[in-house]
Amino acid sequence: MNKYPKIGIRPTIDGRQGGVRESLEEKTMNLARSVAKLITENLRNGDGSPVECVIADTTIGRVGESAACAEKFEREGVGSTITVTSCWCYGAETMDMNPHWPKAVWGFNGTERPGAVYLAAVLAAHAQKGLPAFGIYGHDVQDLADDSIPADVAEKILRFARAAQAVATMRGKSYLSMGSACMGIAGSIVDPNFFQEYLGMRNESVDLTEIIRRMTEGIYDHVEFEKAMEWTRENCMTNEGEDIANRPEKAKTREQKDQDWEFIVKMMMIMKDLMHGNPRLAELGYKEEAIGHNAIAGGFQGQRQWTDFYPNGDYPEALMNTSFDWNGLREPITLATENDAGNGVAMLFNHLLTGRAQIFSDVRTYWSPEAVKRVTGKELTGMAANGIIHLINSGATTLDGSGAATDAEGKPVMKHFWEMTDKDVDACLQATTWYPANRDYFRGGGFSSNFLTRGGMPVTMVRLNLVKGLGPVLQLAEGWTVDVDPEIHKVLDKRTDPTWPTTWFVPRLTDKAPFKDVYSVMNNWGANHGAITYGHVGADLITLCSMLRIPVCMHNVEDEKIFRPASWNAFGMDKEGADFRACKNYGPIYK
């Protein structure tokens, strides 16, 4: 088990002794226990362990008890807090003052005691002190003896907790750039100020010669390598595709292809060691290399200096982002193709909120119904009828993205790794063909993963961009993967690169721009890549971004699902404009 931050539960109370406080002690602590139980039973960390909560030793009625709670939370590794109360409390004395902890307050909606009055008062104190807090107030009045959590309150508590845990988990970790900028892609011009000030992360970087050095000098676990090669021969090399991308003079020989397979397996082992470290290396005498870079996410430059000479990174990129490898089921490792840190951060946000593997794709082409009819002679139907966006990538998409895993009803799904079965793993592997890389693109060879994502999965496409003078902004589009007529797919796929994996995507359309049509979504996308996660999680992303002071410039989430700190209401009645103004006003957490 990894060590994860915990969520602190702060039961606040009316401090007046002599009848008032005593009558509320049990009720207040019961609410705190209910919140802790809700979170622990419903939320998991990336390794599958339950999110842990820490409750203050006593109820908090005066500032001394606030201080004692804060000291306990520091010792226990708390990274965010939820304050709960059923009554009036002394707001400025009982509030959480830690500037780095995301914070929420649940004021119990009951008539016997004014929990709502405290909620309003303490949120005003948070706003006045510049410490934004999320306000949680149930829609319906509850009886004082009722310690249950209403559904609307539970939804907000869990939305806050998911996002807050993501914020706390990133803090103190690293983004590892393996290589540097790729082919002039802006996202791979990594901005350390953004990572430091907005995410609380540091930036680490290694030149790609480090991978070659470790290969050449044998700085990897040779026993694991043999295990990895045996698994790769049985599960990947057996699904090697024909060399359809290369002219005969560019095709590699069988011996060269076998050497490429060994090379890319070693690449993956070394890239994992660089990110996370490996105690096995210390046993082998490589103490420095065993440490790793404490990376929660990373990126591999690849093109062009590497791929013009060595096999490409498609195999390690695809498999690291997958929920399994030769060691069995495990948490997917967030790794961005082409070292696109903007997309890597979007993948990381998605993964921390969902615990699932992430699809990295080019947002390649919008196909209108008219264009499809002209090119193929066939019409798009069903969910694809209004046009489709071709998500395709140079071979590095997670194998989970095939949609080959299924739920109890046989529908495609991208599962948490701890829910995957042997049947799911085998289905994902069998759905993937490994084609020899197109050597017009990748002169050094290698292999590209290829599959067609099954339609019908709810997904959210996300991107983080940096804008001069504005800072970071996030955009998202909830939608679905879709199936198209096989003949349509065949024709359209051949117009790009048939050795790469394809996902056909349609966003959920609304009556508001830029979601009035599929073309507008594509036309308003801010970069060449997107991070795609299973599920409609736009509301969670909006909550997370408000904690990080990152405005959301494009989304199709219903207004009633949007949950931001209470003080955002003071920045105007238009929700999105208020988001930009509030983020600018407060600035990044760690600056």
Catalytic positions, written as ranges: 338, 362
What is the distance between the alpha carbons of residues 418 and 553, in angstroms, rounded to a whole number? 34
Residue of 362, 361, 358, 384 whose CA lies nearest to 371? 384
* Contact assessment for residue 87 and residue 114, using Cβ atoms and an 8 Å cutoff: yes
Rounded CA separation 573/591 (Å): 28
Instruction: Please work out, in degrees rounded to the nearest 5, the angle formed at the alpha carbon of residue 558 by the alpha carbons of 556 and 562.
Output: 105
- Name which of 194, 164, 169, 197 is nearest 543 in CA terms: 164
Rounded Cα distance, 35 and 154, in Å: 8
Three-class SS state of 29: helix
What is the rounded distance in angstroms from the CA atom of residue 77 to the CA atom of residue 67?
16
Phi, psi for 338 (deg, rounded to 5): 60, 20
**Tally of CB atoms within 10 A around 571:** 18
**529 marked among binding-site residues:** yes
Q: What are the start-end ranges of the E strands in 326-392?
A: 328-329, 335-337, 359-367, 388-392
In the block, residue with structure tokens 């000098």? 217
The helix (run of H) or strand (run of E) holding residue 275 is: helix 254-276
Residue of 254, 247, 396, 233 lying closest to 312 (CA atoms): 396
Identify whether the C-beta of residue 270 lies closer than 8 Å to the C-beta of residue 220: yes
Taking the C-alpha atoms of residue 379 and residue 161, their distance in angstroms, rounded to an integer, is 45
* Distance in angstroms (rounded) separating the CA atoms of residues 257 and 239: 13
**Closest to 453 measured CA to CA, from 504, 405, 383, 417:** 504
Greatest extent of the chain over all pairs of C-alpha atoms, in Å: 92
Q: Which residues lie across from 459 on neighbouring strands?
A: 479, 534
How far is 578 from 492, CA to CA, in rounded Å?
42
- Tokens read off for 89: 């409390």
CA distance 507 to 141: 38
Q: Torsion angle, CA of 314/315/318/320, rounded to 10 degrees?
A: -120
Distance CA 434, CA 240 (A): 5
What is the enclosing helix (H) or strand (E) of 37?
Answer: helix 20-42
Which residue, among 301, 96, 87, has the nearest Cα to 183 in the 3D structure? 301
Quote the tokens at residue 405. Answer: 């895993």
Token readout for 51 is 């999110």
CA dihedral (466, 394, 391, 228) positive or negative: negative
What is the spatial distance between Cα 197 and Cα 448, in angstroms, rounded to a whole number? 36
Residues pairing with 447 in the sheet: 436
List residues forming the annotated binding site for Mn(2+).
338, 362, 529
